[in-house]
């Protein structure tokens, strides 16, 4: 049972970190990009390739994963977000980001292969470490550090305060002379870097697998919706809750029920509290 709890927390930490990436993107664009889960996938695949394929040390593999994630974040804005937001207020970004996500997944599958590949060990450790294995505690530590770091970034740095200003009212920020396009690009690059870091840290847990993106996109969104859109603390709570729920569902009922129970959790929360556990209600003045 203890193993189920630990593995559930590790998986939940991965979902929570993906939800945090969602939050960073959403803060400046009000877009929930379907490419979000593919950023950790790229970080894991290219990190594994750099270390195992090219023989680079782990820190260069980390740099590769983060750099590829940041590049894909920028590419998402340029290809799938920028023109859509400039020409329409409709949610056409859902289709454009889905198209980019599908193309990048198929491209990685053709290049990397369609079978999961083991991710190299980052810290010398015996495989019999059990519950102390780095594949469990690395994702948990990263998710907590990411949430704390983002809170510090939003409250103590100028760019972070600009992110907050855009999340509250992009039109007012633009009227005050803020280059909203530049801030949005910066948020997508930051989100990409954080996503690449997430995939690298969780690589030993998930393996380097081309089809991981859609799974993380869905579960990261569920964690975000449960915790509350825009709340980093809520993302942590939602992610850990979803990970534990999936682990217990798999233990008691079988793995085939995981996704059903996860979507059921989302439906219950949205019916009882549509803004999420820690989300705030948006009151529209009339």
> What is the percent of the chain where pLDDT is above 90?
65
Cα(233)–Cα(174) distance, integer angstroms: 28
Contact partners, residue 216, CB within 8 Å, separation at least 6? 14, 15, 18, 36, 37, 38, 40, 41
User: Is the per-residue pLDDT at 220 higher than 70?
Assistant: yes
User: Is the per-residue pLDDT at 174 higher than 60?
Assistant: yes
Global confidence as pTM: 0.93
Q: Does domain 2-120+133-272 bear CATH number 1.20.140? A: no
Contact 232, 16 (CB under 8 A): no
Contact 30, 168 (CB under 8 A): no
Crossing angle of the two packed helices 38-48 and 180-201, in degrees rounded to 10: 50
Residue 282: pLDDT band (50, 70, 90) is low
User: Is the per-residue pLDDT at 283 higher than 50?
Assistant: no
Residue 9: pLDDT band (50, 70, 90) is very high
Check residue 50 and report its DSSP letter.
I
Over residues 113-164, the pLDDT tens digits come to: 999 999 999 888 877 777 888 999 999 999 999 999 999 999 999 989 999 8
Residue 280: pLDDT band (50, 70, 90) is low
Question: Hunting for tokens 């983060």 — which residue is that?
Answer: 66
Question: Hunting for tokens 């997944």 — which residue is that?
Answer: 105
Residue 270: pLDDT band (50, 70, 90) is confident
Contact partners, residue 88, CB within 8 Å, separation at least 6? none
Crossing angle of the two packed helices 2-29 and 38-48, in degrees rounded to 10: 110
């Amino acid at each position: 049972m203890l193993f189920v709890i630990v593995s559930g927390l590790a998986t939940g930490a991965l979902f929570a970190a993906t939800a945090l990436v969602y939050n960073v993107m959403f803060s400046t664009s009000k877009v929930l990009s379907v490419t979000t889960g593919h950023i950790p996938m790229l970080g894991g695949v290219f990190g594994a390739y750099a270390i195992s394929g090219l023989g680079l040390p782990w820190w260069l593999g980390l740099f590769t994963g983060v750099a590829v994630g940041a590049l894909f974040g920028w590419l998402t804005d340029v290809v799938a977000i920028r023109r859509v937001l400039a020409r329409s207020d409709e949610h056409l970004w859902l289709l454009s980001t889905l198209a980019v996500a599908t193309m990048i997944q198929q491209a990685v599958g053709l290049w990397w292969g369609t079978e999961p590949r083991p991710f190299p060990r980052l810290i010398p450790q015996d495989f019999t470490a059990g519950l102390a294995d780095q594949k469990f505690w690395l994702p948990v530590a990263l998710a907590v550090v990411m949430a704390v770091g983002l809170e510090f970034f939003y409250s103590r740095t100028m760019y972070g305060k600009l992110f907050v200003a855009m999340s509250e009212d992009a039109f007012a920020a633009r009227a005050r002379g803020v280059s909203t396009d530049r801030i949005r690009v910066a948020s997508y690059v930051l989100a990409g870097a954080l996503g690449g870091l997430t995939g690298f840290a969780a690589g030993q847990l998930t393996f380097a697998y081309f089809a991981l993106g859609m799974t993380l996109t869905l579960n990261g969104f569920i964690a975000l919706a449960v915790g509350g859109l825009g709340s980093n603390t809520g993302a942590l709570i939602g992610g850990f809750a979803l990970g534990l729920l999936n682990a217990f569902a798999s233990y008691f009922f079988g793995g085939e029920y995981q996704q059903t129970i996860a979507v059921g959790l989302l439906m219950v929360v949205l019916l009882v509290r549509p803004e999420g556990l820690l989300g705030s209600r948006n009151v529209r003045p009339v």
